[in-house]
Amino acid sequence: MDSYRRGKQVDRNNVRARVRAPYRGVLPLIWAIGAVLLLVVSLFVGPDGALAVVFVMHLFFAGIIHLDIKVQRRQGLEWGLWRHLWFGAAVVFPLVALVYYLYSGRKVRAENERRNTGDADTGESEGDVDESDEIDETDE
């Protein structure tokens, strides 16, 4: 047999690093803190204070989403023009941060499965047995 590796042998040795979304986990925390602040400020200060809280929250959301997508793109996860849509929507709409949290988690998980970094099925089921692992009854 020659020494060249073919097919899956090459892919098994070429494992790419996992994609991580470091800022993604902060979004629900900021959303919850912002909701509590919105409630407290609207009760004690009034609608002008509540509007200021909403404005600042949306700036935080947009900034964190921008940073998160930027980090993911550096790791090789392509977002295309959607990155601009997510950033703009986070500035305008209140629930986009939570939707982004779910969507980006799904996107990162799919990319990690595609890269085959141990998060996904390798294509071999548990029932598959390598021929070299089988015990011959005559060996005992």
Q: How many domains does the chain fold into? A: 1
- 29 within domain boundaries: yes
Domain ranges, residue 34: 23-116
- 31 within domain boundaries: yes
- 76 within domain boundaries: yes
pLDDT of residue 128: 45
pTM flag (> 0.85):
no
- 6 within domain boundaries: no
- 3 within domain boundaries: no
- 37 within domain boundaries: yes
- 5 within domain boundaries: no
Contact predicate 98/24, CB 8 Å: no
- 73 within domain boundaries: yes
Residue-wise pLDDT for 32-90, tens only, equals: 999 999 999 999 999 999 999 999 999 999 999 999 999 999 998 988 888 999 999 99
